Amino acid sequence: MIIYYKFVSLNNQEYKIERKSYILWIAQFIIISLIFLTSNSCCCQPPDINQLAVEYLQKWKLFYPSEALAAGDKGSALRFEDFSDNNIQKWIKFNEEILLKISENKYKYKLLLDEKIDMKLLERKINQEIYKWKNDKAHLNSPSLYENLISQAFTHIIARPLKDRSAMREAVTTRLHGVVRLCQSAVVQLENGAPERSTGAAHSLKNTAGFYRSGLPDILGAYFNDPSTNNKFQEDIERTAQSIRELSSHITLKIIPGSSISDQLGKEKYNKILRLYTGLKIHSLKLRKISSDEIKLVREMIKKLSVEFFKSKHPGKYAGGIIPEKCIQYAFTEMESHRVNNSADFLEQFKTLIDEAENFIYKKKITSIKDSRSLHTALSPSHFAGAAIGGVYPAGPFDPDADTLFYLPTIPDDSPGKVKDGFYRSFNDHFNKMIITHEIFPGHYFQLKESSRNPHIVRTVFGDDLFIEGWATLCEQLTLDRGWDKNNILTRLAHLRKRLENAVRAFSSVQVHCNGWSKERVLTFAVEKGLLAPQFAENLWHRVINSPFQLTSYFLGFRKFDMILKKREKNPKFSIQKFCDRILNSGSMSLDLIEQATGS
């Protein structure tokens, strides 16, 4: 148009006409451009993270009904997992579609902090799912995948039964039939499995079959109390138990002998999954270095405090010199001597500690958030199918007012004396006093309950393990720093011993999976360098093999929280109450966003 104007406009008359045309063209161009830009801005708004999360969670509940049930979705009791290849391929495709929506937009716009938090959690979860099913092919290579689901298929139905009896019967029947189908699917699909993990899975399945046959009817039989439903229930129980036994035998006879997968992941795979799990740019070499440094630091702290304790018991007696290692042993022996010796007293002790911890956090103004306690505390029940372990099981965002389950680790009162003694030495009075702040107030129970009410539901369902365990571990320290247990040295030593254990867990995770450490070497290191209590040293190898990345969450999470807290405490206007309130109100997030989210 401009060229046409220059060469065609030869006389004055023509010039005026062409000038008018040119001005008109410019006006039209501006109008069209504005229309385009306006429409473009409407079509290319930043992605609605909440909508993506809702869309994802709807499919997630269908694919993982047992996890959804654990998170409080009662409707999921009437479904059970389908890990057939066809269903898995659909799940992979869906995850890839959602990931593409995130990837196409996340770098184009300046997102709000809340959007960043939710997007990062959702994106990480999706990447984990794609790796699990597409790269790792868990349905083909992991007997533990099936064992974990089958052994816990009824945990949350038993703990939180449906109010309607007919719905409860339907849920039980659906899940029994679902377990049978899953066992059959596993027998057809399983091709491989790491020997030790597979052996553990087969053993657990064998025990689970026994529980289904003898334990489940006692717990659920009351819902099938007329002859017609009871006979069918008994048939379903027997069929399910038989299917579980067949899967256990299949793993033992077919999978383990031909296994070509190592229980040790190797550096490349370990580093890949470490980054997927943590959401951080971290390498095994760095993890080994910082956990090794932590081991040295905490050992020195334990040594110093143990000497102080020894001197308090023997004032002026050893002016000529004290051997620190003997002081450590002396202090730990004294710590472990304070303990109960039966399950009834153990349970009663924890119930008392819960009340004391709740009163303490308000008295010391650690938080202003009030709790209407909805907590069920009990010994680890029989429906854990032999896995007598403890833990906090939150109600979840789909039913936030339901009871959180706090199950204590247990050991039968008629256990052999040495075994029973080792258990209660590990769970001594000082350890229990310290750990209640980790597990309940203001740790897991309190944080997870507040998280379940958070409007950003993705933070509860797909909460960051490093955030969750890091916060709970920080609670041990910040309550002790404010006078929990009246500054008892042995309770502080119990915390330091656990802090040392957390570093040993992370360090051992790297050494086993990247550097080939054997079970014997791990246990020796755990006892000699890690100063682990008997019960925890015995469990370490099993957890390193089965949960190598979850083991890193305590150390990495606490390290970040501790760094932030120390930095904030230098500010004269710092308020521990405001700091804790912000964390508890935030839900959960990736470690690299905590500092920004908790303010100054």
Residue 233: CB atoms within 10 A of its CB come to 21
**With 60 as the cut, is the pLDDT of residue 45 above it?**
no
**With 70 as the cut, is the pLDDT of residue 43 above it?**
no
CA pair distance 461, 480, nearest whole angstrom: 30
Nearest Cα to 368, choosing from 586, 580, 598?
580
Query: What confidence score (pLDDT) does residue 598 get?
Result: 85
- Please write the tens of the pLDDT for every residue from 301-310: 999 999 999 9
**With 50 as the cut, is the pLDDT of residue 542 above it?**
yes
**404-408 vs 375-379, strand pairing mode:** parallel
The C-alpha angle 194, 195, 196, rounded to 5 degrees, equals 100
DSSP for 220-231, please give it: HGGGG-SHHHHH
What is the pTM assigned to this prediction? Answer: 0.90
Mean pLDDT (the chain) is 90
The runs of H, that is alpha helices, within 314-396 are 324-337, 343-363
37-49 average pLDDT score: 53
Query: To the nearest whole percent, how much of the chain has pLDDT over 70?
Result: 90
- Please write the tens of the pLDDT for every residue from 207-252: 999 999 999 999 999 999 998 899 999 999 999 999 999 999 999 9
**With 70 as the cut, is the pLDDT of residue 554 above it?**
yes
**With 50 as the cut, is the pLDDT of residue 69 above it?**
yes
520-546 average pLDDT score: 92
400-421 average pLDDT score: 93
Q: What is the distance of C-alpha 315 from the center of its chain?
A: 46
**What's the pLDDT band for 46 if we cut at 50, 70, 90?**
low
- Please write the tens of the pLDDT for every residue from 78-134: 999 999 999 999 999 999 999 999 988 777 677 899 999 999 999 999 999 999 999
CA pair distance 418, 416, nearest whole angstrom: 6
Query: What confidence score (pLDDT) does residue 538 get?
Result: 82
- Please write the tens of the pLDDT for every residue from 464-502: 999 999 999 999 999 999 999 999 999 999 999 999 999
Query: What confidence score (pLDDT) does residue 108 get?
Result: 66
Burial group, residue 329, by CB count within 10 angstroms (0-12, 13-18, 19+): middle
